A = this chain, B = another copy of it.
């Protein structure tokens, strides 16, 4: 079924059962969701938590979902950094393994000016082994559980969510997220291209990857992983010397760096964990790069549920008793 257009007429069959929000650092995505989980309308606003001044979250929410029922009759459920220390209210992390029941039990609540509640999905905390460090996520757990709710075999796959901080997650057959790992690859790429000496030789050209610089970066990462693991801090310098010596054109250097970093990430995950099929959740420019890197490393990569976060919000809302599904009727 195609997604409804913004502002489509709401019939009685299309009664809004849930307003779902994916509220991250830079953007706010809002979904008007039917009782059976269908997305009837979606909106995206440039209103991430870092762009909302003075804690004006209620106003930002009302602005984003203008025209939707906000009188307290329709539950509102939000996932993502809105539940972090920098968000509307910090909702304590829930420990792994965690599925719908654990997230539903850990919901936090804030109030709109009229007193009606907005429910916040908690993030996940994975305690590391003794001496290791913990890992955290906020928002991705909802996407993963949304994809799982579509009937995916959790045992045969792992999830990959590309982004500034990419997340890899492994689930139990019972539908719970067992463990996950964050890789700072995207942010490392950003700061190196924008603030390090590597950016000085880079230029963006009309054909930015004519030399398949991304593929060369992937190949270098694979060689290093096979021969001298952990060489990334050395390999980075290649994104300078290949520019200095004419081994790559200036407009290929950023892609080479991207290949080096994403290749190193995929190699590290592959070395440390069983992977199976990689289910990639997320659109944008990073997803195809990760799909290619996974393929180059011999992994099967598939694209997951497009509306995973909306499906996850619906499933969590049902688990929390905020709405009843059609099969409860």
Residues on A close to B: CB < 8 A?
85, 125, 128, 131-136, 165, 181-185, 187-188, 190-192, 194-198, 216, 219-220, 223-225, 227-238, 241-242, 244-245, 247, 261, 264-265, 267-268, 271-273
Main secondary structure of the interface of A (DSSP, over half): helix
A234 pairs with B131, CB closer than 8 A: no
Given contacts A195-B194, A229-B230, A236 and B134 within 8 Å (CB-CB): no
- Identify the closest chain B residue to A185 (Cβ): B233
Chain B residues in 8 Å Cβ range of A190: 196
A135 pairs with B227, CB closer than 8 A: no
B268 pairs with A231, CB closer than 8 A: yes
Chain B residues in 8 Å Cβ range of A216: 131
Given contacts A234-B182, A237-B182, A261-B233, A223 and B131 within 8 Å (CB-CB): yes
Given contacts A192-B191, A230-B267, A237-B165, A131 and B247 within 8 Å (CB-CB): no
- Identify the closest chain B residue to A242 (Cβ): B133
B196 pairs with A237, CB closer than 8 A: no
B195 pairs with A191, CB closer than 8 A: yes
A230 pairs with B268, CB closer than 8 A: yes
* 5 cross-chain pairs, A with B, having the tightest CB-CB distances, nearest first: A229-B229, A133-B238, A228-B272, A230-B268, A191-B191
Shortest Cβ gap from A198 to chain B (Å):
8
13 extra interface residue pairs, beta carbon distance < 8 Å, beyond A183-B233, A228-B271, A228-B273: A85-B244, A128-B238, A131-B219, A132-B223, A134-B241, A134-B247, A136-B241, A183-B237, A184-B237, A185-B233, A190-B196, A191-B191, A228-B268
Kindly state the separation between the CA atoms of A237 and B185 in the bound complex, as whole angstroms.
Answer: 10
Shortest Cβ gap from A123 to chain B (Å):
10
- Identify the closest chain B residue to A125 (Cβ): B245
Pull 20 A–B residue pairs with CB atoms less than 8 Å apart, ordered by A.
A125-B245, A131-B216, A131-B219, A133-B235, A134-B245, A134-B247, A135-B237, A136-B244, A183-B237, A184-B196, A188-B196, A188-B233, A190-B196, A191-B192, A191-B196, A194-B195, A228-B271, A230-B264, A233-B264, A234-B265
